[in-house]
């Protein structure tokens, strides 16, 4: 059994670069989304065996904190719009990287 170490190295480097690109642009996109005045608020899923389940009071408090942070945003409407466009562009780069990797896997045999 022979191992093609050069091919292994190519796959390793490609996976490392792909993961770095996706994580970096996703984090930047989230940061720009918050800066643009649209912080993501995801209601937690409530499972019967969950370690922590938020009560309605805690959920209302979190929604209130998000609304307060959005009101305190010192950016102008134009700056918010640019931040939102940048956030969506970053998410687009993430989607393109994942789609490109899938296409490479499917059609590069």
Which tens digits make up the pLDDT trace of 13-32?
Answer: 989 999 999 999 999 999 99
41 pLDDT exceeds 90?
A: no
Assess contact for 37 and 87: CB atoms under 8 A.
no
Please provide the average confidence, as pLDDT, over all residues in the chain.
Answer: 84
pLDDT of residue 85: 95
43 pLDDT exceeds 80?
A: no
Residue-range definition of the domain harbouring residue 58: 27-108
17 within a domain of the structure (yes/no): no
pTM above 0.85, yes or no: no
10 within a domain of the structure (yes/no): no
**Alpha carbon separation from 102 to 18, 89, 93, 94 (Å, rounded):** 12, 20, 14, 12
1 within a domain of the structure (yes/no): no
**Alpha carbon separation from 43 to 14, 15, 27, 103 (Å, rounded):** 35, 32, 20, 33
50 pLDDT exceeds 60?
A: no
Q: Within a 10 A sphere around the Cβ of 22, how many other Cβ atoms?
A: 17
Q: What is the dihedral of CA 41, 45, 46, 52, to 10 degrees?
A: -70
How many structural domains are present in the chain?
Answer: 1
Q: What is the dihedral of CA 21, 26, 28, 32, to 10 degrees?
A: 150
Of 24-28, 33-37, 57-61, give the range with the top mean pLDDT.
24-28
pLDDT of residue 20: 95
pLDDT of residue 109: 58
3 within a domain of the structure (yes/no): no
Residue 53 in tokens: 């389940």
């Amino acid at each position: 059994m022979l191992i093609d170490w050069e091919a292994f190295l190519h796959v390793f480097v490609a996976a490392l670069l792909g993961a770095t690109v996706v994580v970096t642009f996703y984090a930047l996109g989230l940061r720009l989304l918050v800066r643009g005045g649209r912080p993501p608020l995801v209601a937690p899923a409530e499972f019967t065996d969950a370690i922590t389940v938020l009560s309605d009071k805690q959920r209302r408090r979190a929604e209130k904190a998000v609304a307060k942070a959005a009101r305190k945003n010192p950016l102008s409407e134009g700056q918010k719009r640019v931040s939102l466009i940048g956030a969506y562009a970053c998410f687009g780069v993430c989607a393109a990287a994942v789609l490109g990797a899938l296409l490479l896997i499917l059609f590069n045999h």
